[in-house]
Structure 1
Amino acid sequence: MATVAVVGAGVTGLVTAIGCARAGHRVRVLERGPVPNPASTSSDQHRALRVLRPDDVDGTARMAEARRWWAELESLLRKDFVRPVGVVTAGTPDELERAFDTAAQAGVPATAVVPGTLPPVLFPDGTSGVFDPGGAVLLADRFLRAAVGWLAAHPAVTLHPDCPVAGIGDHQVVLADGAVVGADAVLVAGGPWTAGLTGPPVVLHRQTMVYLRPPPHLAAWWASAPGVGRIGADGRAWLLPPGGGALLKISSDAVCREVTTTNPDPDRDREPWAGRLLAEPILAGAEDYAVVAVRDCHYATDAVTGGPVLARIHPSVWSRSACGGSGFGAAPLVAREILGGVNDKECV
């Protein structure tokens, strides 16, 4: 039995904590705010769980495995937080041909979608869609609450809310009050500021999202609608449908920008970007949709590759900065890699 310290009670930290506890290890979860923390990067109404990754056969196979893990977690926690509505990805004929080839090689299902079958959604000119039936919408906040409830009841797990961390070393976590927590393995997954504790260098991004309420005459249609991606003026927008208590959410990399802090000035920064997002050609009859909320999210990418980061800082320390939408989908894969190291005693 090992002792695992998890810094950060977001999706990656909680999924890893669950996996370690189920494997018989002692787990301590340290979170700088409440648990779950409504101000965390993971806190949101919903996130996409995509399986099909066009042009990436290995990535598609990995995400199919992660999707199975999410189904297992839903069963374990005895809460419904995965809406299996699928995900549609828009593309040109050449792009869709490659997407279908990827699906065939990875052994996952995929079907063609004609834009007219999703009338409220605007597809870019010259595109249609590929439907990924394994894709889903994950009710993020519902999962976080369920995971915390399960961990709080587990005898091998201790939750430490309001416990800021000042430093990380091999086999140890240094708290802000100077106390030292020893552990056989440490996962630092405390948000985009994780790099400030452990490295490696990352680039911080801010993205504005808008939450909408569909008009009443479309409420029934949206109740079973899939997620849709690669739409908008330049194919960089995504929407997640309402359902399970969540609103309709739209986002786009067109309003994503590099920043140096997670503390913006909302009056100066948020509203202009929300206006740009609402002007994107995403929804037919967009003026009929009521804007309910606007929110900024933050994520980090590797300063060299531009991709998500999972780094082994010391033999006993892993670092996972918040990496946006892909963070939820890949969380079970990160947890498995860390658990494998703990079980094989690679961190000792």
Structure 2
Amino acid sequence: MARGSVIVVGAGIAGLSTAWALNRRGFDVSVFEQGPIPNPRATSHDEHRITRYAYGALEGYAYLMPQAFAMYERMFADIGADHFARSKVVYFLREEISWHEPTIRALTRLGAGFRDIPLAEVAQRFPMVRTDGLTRAVETDDGGMLFPIRILTDLTVTLGARGVRFFADSRVSEVDPEAGKVVANGREHRADHVVIAAGAWVNKLTPLLADVVVPSRQAVMYLAPPPELARLWSEVPVLIDMGLRSGTYTLPPRRGTRLKIGDHVFTRSGDADGDRLATGADVERLESAARLAYRDFDRYQVLERKICFYTVTRDDSERFAVRPWGAKAWVVSACSGHGFKLGPLIGDGVAAAIAGERSAEETSRWAAGQLDLAELGAAEPAA
């Protein structure tokens, strides 16, 4: 007999991971998604995403990453496919920024490998990188690329085979957190619990986080490198350029994906129901930063300019907002690109709270990265 029924609103990585964790605990789960499943308009729907240990001032998330990697391994074993390309991650620093000291402290405490790359060696190892203005280059061992479309697809197939019910093209318009009720396409559905994991649409369904998070229209570009650099790009690790003007992250082509570049500057504007057509204004800052990071960037062919929507905090904290709402609901809101890295772990934590394995207060603090390394062992759910 099921331990109870749960409605999950949203079929991105947060929603599907929560459904996966609830299903493993014996709950009867239904997933509602406003589009197809997986949904190409979802923030989670992408060719590849970075995962890593290094988190700068967000040390609490660095300390969560060993658990996050382990939860992905558990998920991959469950779905029967490993959608993770392990890779070093190299950081190029161009100004004095606050990233280095807390990162090295966290990596040291975690026993994760890292080393400085002598600046004199950068040009030889990474001839595509502009070396003028570099102040430091740091190579870290633990990281790589996740392949979201494949993860979402395999997770959907696995959950369907295990009895999870999917309601595709079912837009939720109303949630009653006291009654455990949602209204989708004009029809009422009830459960013992409701989890809202609606990404950039979260504020359309609940006022709980309206003062905390906001949708952010973000641009990325997919590129074809100059022919003489194509083989090198297929072999280099993930590259992150960190500067006040130049900040970019770059995922090299792997397993049939394209070279992808984005930035980490949040617009904190836009409507998630809007278009996904990137304009010149959308990519202006990204193109400028890319020219500062890479030599002869204008020789790279643009294959696609894409818009996605993150949910980000109104301040600069970049923390997950995971909170109970009323008697029967939880709201799960990722922050920026952390969402995919930590999605299965956060989903498991919410499922643990619903199952009574962890308190609501502890779950919210844990998901916000507010627990120190010493606290995390006691806070880990018994999944």
TM-score w.r.t. the length of structure 2 is 0.82
Gaps of 5+ in 1: none
* Paired residues of 2:4 and 2:192 also in contact (CA < 8 A): yes
Question: Given residue 269 of structure 2, which amino acid in structure 1 is its aligned partner?
Answer: V
Query: What percentage of aligned pairs have identical amino acids?
Result: 27
Q: Tell me, yes or no, if structure 1 residue 21 matches structure 2 residue 31.
A: no
TM-score w.r.t. the length of structure 1 is 0.90
**2:77 equivalent in structure 1:** 75
Q: Tell me, yes or no, if structure 1 residue 321 matches structure 2 residue 314.
A: no
Q: Tell me, yes or no, if structure 1 residue 284 matches structure 2 residue 284.
A: no
**1:258 equivalent in structure 2:** 268
* Paired residues of 1:51 and 1:67 also in contact (CA < 8 A): no
Question: SS at the partner of 1:253?
Answer: coil
Q: Tell me, yes or no, if structure 1 residue 99 matches structure 2 residue 99.
A: no
2: CA distance between counterparts of 1:272 and 1:76? 43
Question: Given residue 299 of structure 1, which amino acid in structure 2 is its aligned partner?
Answer: Y
**2:311 equivalent in structure 1:** 300
**1:231 equivalent in structure 2:** 242
2: CA distance between counterparts of 1:324 and 1:97? 22
Structure 2 CA distance for partners of 1:260 and 1:210, relative to 1, 3 Å: closer
* Paired residues of 2:222 and 2:304 also in contact (CA < 8 A): yes
Q: Tell me, yes or no, if structure 1 residue 249 matches structure 2 residue 251.
A: no
* Paired residues of 1:124 and 1:235 also in contact (CA < 8 A): no
2: CA distance between counterparts of 1:86 and 1:291? 26
Q: Does 92-101 or 22-31 show the bigger shift?
A: 92-101
* Paired residues of 2:313 and 2:335 also in contact (CA < 8 A): no
* Paired residues of 1:50 and 1:63 also in contact (CA < 8 A): yes
Question: SS at the partner of 1:59?
Answer: helix
Task: Select the residue among 186, 194, 217 that pairs with 1:186.
Answer: 194
**2:352 equivalent in structure 1:** 340
**1:30 equivalent in structure 2:** 32
**1:272 equivalent in structure 2:** 281
* Paired residues of 2:322 and 2:333 also in contact (CA < 8 A): yes
* Paired residues of 1:8 and 1:190 also in contact (CA < 8 A): yes
Question: SS at the partner of 1:34?
Answer: coil
* Paired residues of 1:205 and 1:298 also in contact (CA < 8 A): yes
Q: Tell me, yes or no, if structure 1 residue 161 matches structure 2 residue 168.
A: yes
TM-superposition CA deviations, 1:151-192 (whole Å, max 9, x none): 12113x111111111111225232234332222222111121
2: CA distance between counterparts of 1:270 and 1:141? 24
Deviation at residue 56 of structure 1 after TM alignment: 4.0
Structure 2 CA distance for partners of 1:219 and 1:75, relative to 1, 3 Å: farther
1: CA distance between counterparts of 2:328 and 2:132? 47
2: CA distance between counterparts of 1:112 and 1:212? 28
Backbone CA RMSD of aligned residues: 2.4
Structure 2 CA distance for partners of 1:141 and 1:266, relative to 1, 3 Å: closer
Deviation at residue 236 of structure 1 after TM alignment: 2.4
Deviation at residue 70 of structure 1 after TM alignment: 1.3
Task: Select the residue among 165, 175, 188 that pairs with 2:183.
Answer: 175
> Structure 1: which 4+ aligned runs deviate by more than 4 Å?
92-95, 263-267
1: CA distance between counterparts of 2:327 and 2:352? 13
Gaps of 5+ in 2: 361-383
* Paired residues of 1:2 and 1:342 also in contact (CA < 8 A): no
* Paired residues of 1:85 and 1:137 also in contact (CA < 8 A): yes
* Paired residues of 1:113 and 1:130 also in contact (CA < 8 A): yes
**1:49 equivalent in structure 2:** 51
TM-superposition CA deviations, 1:213-247 (whole Å, max 9, x none): 12332222222322122436624211111111211
Deviation at residue 95 of structure 1 after TM alignment: 4.8
Question: SS at the partner of 2:260?
Answer: strand
* Paired residues of 2:22 and 2:348 also in contact (CA < 8 A): no
Deviation at residue 304 of structure 1 after TM alignment: 5.3
Q: Does 316-325 or 131-140 show the bigger shift?
A: 316-325
Question: Given residue 339 of structure 1, which amino acid in structure 2 is its aligned partner?
Answer: A
Task: Select the residue among 89, 102, 125 that pairs with 2:133.
Answer: 125
Q: Does 169-178 or 329-338 show the bigger shift?
A: 169-178
Structure 2 CA distance for partners of 1:123 and 1:342, relative to 1, 3 Å: farther
2: CA distance between counterparts of 1:330 and 1:261? 24
* Paired residues of 2:246 and 2:293 also in contact (CA < 8 A): no
